[in-house]
Structure 1
Amino acid sequence: MWFAERRRSRRLTVALVAFVVFLSVVVTAQLTPGRSPVTAPPTADSANGARDAGDFMLVRRDPNDPMAVGDVDAPVVLVQWTDMRCPYCAVFNRETLPVLLREYVQTGKVRLEVHDVAYFGEQSTDGAVAARAAGNQGKFFAYLSAVYKDVPAGVHPDLPRERLIAYARKAGVTDIERFTADLTDADLRAAAQASHATAEQLGITSVPFFVVGDSALAGAQPIEVFRTYLDDAIAKAR
């Protein structure tokens, strides 16, 4: 058992290093509308039929995951990084996500799994904890929508405690007392901080950011870019 765990740890480290190099190139490129997604070269593991670096490191496929939506066995998993105070994340959530949910997630083609980051100060971490607290009651995505609906263009919104609680009510969180208590839950905060630390290790410096397998897409791209990105991934999965 010890040997197997050590071998798994070594593979995880190799995959992480490969993916960090890949994402550092992608983030530097910062895709603009109309440009194609960037794809990493195949790793030794993927050449041997193992999961590629992206899947190995990032995809959860947990049927009880409150930060995911869609069929756990969908052929494609779209991994997203988001910050609760990011105005471009808000644009994606308002304008693009509803179309992706209707055309890809609800049809069983794609599963969406979200990772939170905190690039805009302590209130970003507070927002991530609040979203996870809402997720404890099955309202993670409803909470994101409630927050992002209010974000003005180009503005990093303030998220004081009383506003976080108000968004929980807007999102339909039923047990507000439990939600309020969860805002100070040490485990939720540690999980949010660990998610941010992993994103930094991967070289992700801006959000929203997306990965499918070994292909990455940066920014709140137009829906046409996402359609091409996901259609290509689905075709490869088949």
Structure 2
Amino acid sequence: MPSSAAPVSSRRPIAIGAGVLVAALLLGYASYSATKPSDAGPGGSSAVAPSSAGPGGDSHPELLELARRDAGDPLAAGRADAPVVMVEYADFQCGYCGKFARDTEPELMRKYVEDGTLRIEWRNFPIFGAESEAAARASWAAGQQGRFWEFHAAAYADGAKEKGFGAARLRELAREAGVGDLDRFARDTESEAARKAVARDQEEGYGLGATSTPSFLVNGRPIAGAQPMETFTQAIEAAAAEAGKGRAAGSGASEQGEQGPR
């Protein structure tokens, strides 16, 4: 997994509260660990923030609040009120992001999104230059016509990134994704709205200390790298269990309040 093409120090971090500092450092550490040459394996290395390496690991409420839960977000999949939200920061030119998109994400969709447990919120985090930026804007434009996930699949298909993301190629991907109005797609890709949407996601990622892609937050737990399915299963199920405990505690308190002290 290549590291960021632009130094984090050149980006203005977003102001998300002093409490996020520790989590940002953890995500930065995990990103660094995921890209150390000594850790590289045949399928690429990965890392989990060390404070939350197990099912009972710490999550960070400040990071949990970054889940937007916008029911109308075309760059998200799953119920807005799902107990677990996985925020994904990725670049369409990132080979490890493609590996995750092909090998792991579809299974997460089937296993957790379809049953209402998980919501996946995409964040465009282009770090490899102009074509990454263009692909990010194009994905946003496809989303305006309800075809973001189809564009995502086409752009991450095996061998797709080797063809580049020039204007003609992006139009071809949009056609493959079933985008109906290709002229609108082209206008939307170059629009100020697309640039602002991508910049918002990008600044959020840099503000969290992410230095490589893909990077994730699972209910506030930072994870870096295209990890195996088991890592995401562990994180999602632990987060779902914790969310269930919170709802049960809240329900119990509500019932006690209605019944009054005995």
TM over 0.5: yes
After superposition, where does 1:99-114 map in structure 2 within 5 Å? Answer: 99-114=107-122
Q: CA deviation at 1:35?
A: 6.7
Alignment match, 2:31 = 27
Write the deviation string for residues 203-229 of structure 1: whole angstroms up to 9, x where unpaired. Answer: 101111111123122111111222112
The answer to whether 1:115 aligns with 2:120 is no
1:147-186 deviations in Å (ceiling 9; x for gaps): 100436xx66521000000000100111111101112101
Separation in 2 of the partners of 1:189 and 1:25? 29
d(CA) in 1 for partners of 2:119, 2:51:
20
Cα-Cα RMSD: 2.5
Q: Look up the match of 1:214.
A: 220
Give yes or no for contact 2:91–2:213 (8 Å, CA) kept in 1.
yes
Identical residues among aligned pairs (%)? 34
Residue 189 of structure 1 corresponds to which residue in structure 2? Answer: 195
Cα distance 1:16–1:207, how it changes in 2: closer, same or farther (>3 A)?
Answer: same
Q: Is 2:72 the counterpart of 1:68? A: no
How far apart are residue 128 of structure 1 and its match?
A: 0.3
- Cα distance in 2 for residues equivalent to 1:185 and 1:150: 29
2:71–2:80 contact (8 Å) kept in structure 1: yes
3-state SS of paired residue (1:217) = strand
Within the candidate set 169, 174, 194, 1:168 is matched to 174
Asked if the contact 1:27–1:205 (Cα under 8 Å) also holds between the matched residues in 2, the reply is yes
How far did 1:237 drift?
A: 1.2
How far, CA to CA, are the matches of 1:206 and 1:157 in structure 2? 22
In 2, Cα distance between equivalents of 1:34 and 1:64: 32
Tell me the TM-score normalized by structure 2: 0.76
Are 1:129 and 2:133 matched, yes or no? no
Which whole-Å CA distance do the structure 2 matches of 1:203 and 1:17 have between them? 9
Structure 2 spans left out of the alignment, 5+ residues = 1-14, 40-44, 53-57, 245-262
Q: 8 Å contact 1:210–1:216 — kept in the other structure?
A: yes
Post-superposition shift, 1:104? 0.2
Residues 27, 218 of structure 1: 8 Å contact kept: yes
When Rg is computed on C-alpha atoms for both structures, the one with the higher figure is 2
How many equivalent pairs are there?
Answer: 218
Q: State the 4+ residue runs in structure 1 displaced beyond 3 angstroms.
A: 15-19, 31-40
**Secondary structure, aligned partner of 1:77:** strand
Does the aligned pair in 2 maintain the 1:39–1:214 contact within 8 Å? no
Please list every run of 5 or more consecutive structure 1 residues that lacks an aligned counterpart in the other structure.
Answer: 1-10, 41-45
The verdict on how the C-alpha distance between 1:55 and 1:35 changes in structure 2, with shifts beyond 3 A counting, is closer
Contact residue 77 and residue 110 of structure 1 kept, 8 A: yes
Deviation for aligned residue 1:193: 2.2
Q: 1:157 to 1:194 in 2, by over 3 A?
A: farther
- What SS class does the counterpart of residue 84 from structure 1 fall into? coil
Residue 217 of structure 2 aligns to a residue whose secondary structure is strand
Would the alpha carbon gap of residues 157 and 206 (structure 1) be closer, same or farther in structure 2, given more than 3 Å must change? farther
Contact 1:82–1:89 (8 Å) recurs in 2: yes
Amino acid at match of 2:64: D
- Residue 87 of structure 1 and its aligned partner are, at CA, apart by 0.9
SS of 2:70's partner is coil
Per mean C-alpha deviation after superposition, the further-off stretch among 194-203 and 27-36 is 27-36
User: Partner of 1:53 in structure 2?
Assistant: 62
